[in-house]
Amino acid sequence: MIAEAISNAAVRLRIRANDYDQVLRLRLEAPVFLGRDVDCHVVLPSPGVSRKHLSLFLREGQLFLRDHSSNGTRLNGELVHLSVHRVEHDAEILVGPYQVTMVDDVPPPATSAPAPTPAGTRDNSRRATIEQRRRIRNTLLESLDLVSLDRTNMNAVSLRPRVVNALASITDAMGSELPEGGALQQLRDELCDEVLGLGPLEPLLRDERVSEIMLVDASTIYVERDGRIELSPSFFTDDTAVRAAIERIVTPLGRRIDESAPLVDARLADGSRVNAVIPPLALKGPCITIRKFPSRRLTLDDLVGFGALTRQMATFLERAVTVRANIVIAGGTGSGKTTLLNVLSGSIPAHERVVTIEDAAELQLVQRHVVSLESRPPNMEGEGAVTIRDLVKNALRMRPDRIVVGECRGGEALDMLQAMNTGHEGSMTTTHANTPVEAVQRIETLCLMSGIDLPLAAIRRQIASSVNLVVQQARLSDGSRRVTHISEVTEVSDDGEVQLRDIFLFEQTGVDAQGKVEGQFAPTGFIPSFVDRFVTRGLIGQGTCW
C-alpha cells in the first residue's frame, strides 16, 4: 500500500506527542515542509521544533527526508543534521517532541455520488467534525500564540490575514481528512470567525431578518427570524470557544465574567444587547442571548408601515413627546419596548439636553446634546458598583431637560417619578408589564423597593401626578409587535386606586388560516387632559383632534 501511495505522489503520516495524535495525508508533487512556522505544510507548534525543521520529497519513487533544523532530526534513533536520508516504510522520525511514522494509505474516494448517511450515524459524524475543528483551532492558537498577541494593540482586522494564512496551511496539511472546495473554505471562514470574532454568531448578526440570537449551549443555537423562533444549524466547536466569544464582548467594556460573577449584561459595537451566563449557573455550559437592533434607525413611519400602530396613533405619540408628556412604555420580554423608546426619542426637540441611563447602553438618540450613562457592576472585590439609581440621582445634578431611563426595575422608579414631577417633564422609561394597569402596579412595587418608608397612598398620588401616558407594547402569537394600548394616567380614585383611561386600543378579532393575527386599532373617543398643550404649541387647532 505504501509503495502505491508514494507512486501516486501521496503519503500518509501519523504524528503523535503527549495528547496530540493525528493522521495527515500529504501530496508530494513538491517538497512538503514540517516545522513551527505557519508557512509550513505541517505546523508543529513547539519550542523544540525549528521554524522549517525538515522537508519530505520524492526521488525516483522513493521517499527522502532533508533536515533543515538547528538541532537535527532523529531517524530510527540516529541523529541526522542538515543532510538527506532515505525514509523506509517502518521508519520512525522524531521532530522535537513529535513522533512521525508512516501508515498505510487509503484508496481515493469514488467519483460516484456518496451513499446516504444513515440517521443513526448523524451524531457521530457531527462529533467527528467538532473534533477536527478542535484540532485545527488548537494548532492555530499554539502556532500563532494569539493569547499573547491580544495583549498588544493588534485588533481582529490586522490579525485576520495571519490567521487566514495559518488556517490555509493547517487545513492543507490535513489533506483528505477535510472536505474540499467551498465546504473547506466555509470551515476556514468559520474557524477564523471563532478565533477572532464571535464564531457562528457572526453571520447571524449580519442577517437583517434575525432579531434575537439564543445560544443554549455550544451546539444549540436558536434564532428569532421574522418574529418566529427556529433552530439554527450553526454551532460552536466547544464550550471553550463560547467562553472566548463572551470574553471578546465583555472585556472591552470593562466588565468581567468568571465563577465569582457568572452572569453579565453587555452590548455589541452596534448597540445590540447581550446577556451571558456561564457555569455553575448555566448547567449545560455557557449560554448567550443577543437582542439585535436594526442596522438602520427606525422611525414612527416604519412602525406604521409594519402595522405596529396607526398613523393617527403615531401622530398623537409624536405630539405627546413634543409637549413633554411623561411616558412609561410597558410590555413583556421581546415585545419591542426599547425599540419604541428609541423611536419616540426621535421626537425630542434638538435644542433640549437629554441624559440617558441604562444597564447596557442600547439607546441611539439622534440629538446632539445627549449624555449617555451606563451602570457598572462591582469589581472582583465586590466594590465600585454604580447602580441605575445612583445614575438617576446624579442625573438630577446635570441640568437635564429630560431623563430617559432604559428600564426601571428597582428603587430608581421612585427617583424617576420625583424627576418627572420636579422640572424634568418629558422624561421616559420602560418597565415589564402585560397591561397598563399592571404597569402602574409594577411601578408601585418598584417604589416600595426603594427603601424609603412611604405609604402606598403617597406613592399612588406621586404616580398620578407624574406619569401622563402608559404605552402598552405586545408581541402577539404570530410574532408581530403591536401597540395595544395608549392610556392616560388620570387620578387617584376615592378608593385609593390609580385610574387610567384608554385613548387608543388594538382589538384582536381572530387568527387567519396562516396564523396571522387579525384585529383593528381604534380611538376610544377619550380626550386626554393635556390636549391643551397641543393647542398652545400650535400642533393642532382649537376644537380639532389629532
Q: 519 CB contacts (<8 Å, ≥6 apart)?
A: 482, 506, 507, 508, 509, 510
The owner of cell 469514488 is: 110
3-state secondary structure of 193: helix
Which grid cell sits at 219? 451546539
Exposure on the CB side of residue 13, measured as CA atoms within 13 A: 26
Q: 312 CB contacts (<8 Å, ≥6 apart)?
A: 504, 523, 546
Residue 3's pLDDT is what? 41
Residue 243 is classified by DSSP as H
Amino acid at 329: I
Burial zone of 5 (CB within 10 Å; 0-12 exposed, 13-18 middle, 19+ buried): buried
Amino acid at 286: P
Q: 123 CB contacts (<8 Å, ≥6 apart)?
A: none
Which grid cell sits at 330? 410597558
Residue 542's pLDDT is what? 53
Q: 457 CB contacts (<8 Å, ≥6 apart)?
A: 492, 496
Query: How far apart, in whole angstroms, are the C-alpha atoms of residue 126 and residue 148?
Result: 32
pTM: 0.64
Q: 75 with 171: CB under 8 angstroms?
A: no
Query: How far apart, in whole angstroms, are the C-alpha atoms of residue 146 and residue 141?
Result: 6
Residue 305 has φ and ψ, to the nearest 5°, of -65, -35
Q: 202 with 213: CB under 8 angstroms?
A: no
The owner of cell 427603601 is: 451
Q: 182 with 33: CB under 8 angstroms?
A: no
Residue 445 has φ and ψ, to the nearest 5°, of -65, -45
Which grid cell sits at 114? 456518496
Burial zone of 30 (CB within 10 Å; 0-12 exposed, 13-18 middle, 19+ buried): exposed
Domains and CATH numbers, the chain: 2-103 (2.60.200.20), 123-196 (no CATH), 201-291 (3.30.450.370), 300-536 (3.40.50.300)
What angle is formed at CA 455 by the lines to CA 453 and CA 457, rounded to 5 degrees?
155
Query: How far apart, in whole angstroms, are the C-alpha atoms of residue 440 and residue 487?
Result: 11
Which grid cell sits at 351? 435644542
Average confidence (pLDDT) per 10 residues, the chain, 546 residues: 52 82 81 82 81 89 89 91 90 92 58 35 48 80 60 61 82 75 76 83 89 92 87 87 89 83 86 90 92 82 93 95 95 89 92 90 85 84 84 91 91 90 89 95 93 90 95 90 95 92 93 86 92 85 54
Query: How far apart, in whole angstroms, are the C-alpha atoms of residue 178 and residue 197?
Result: 23
3-state secondary structure of 224: strand
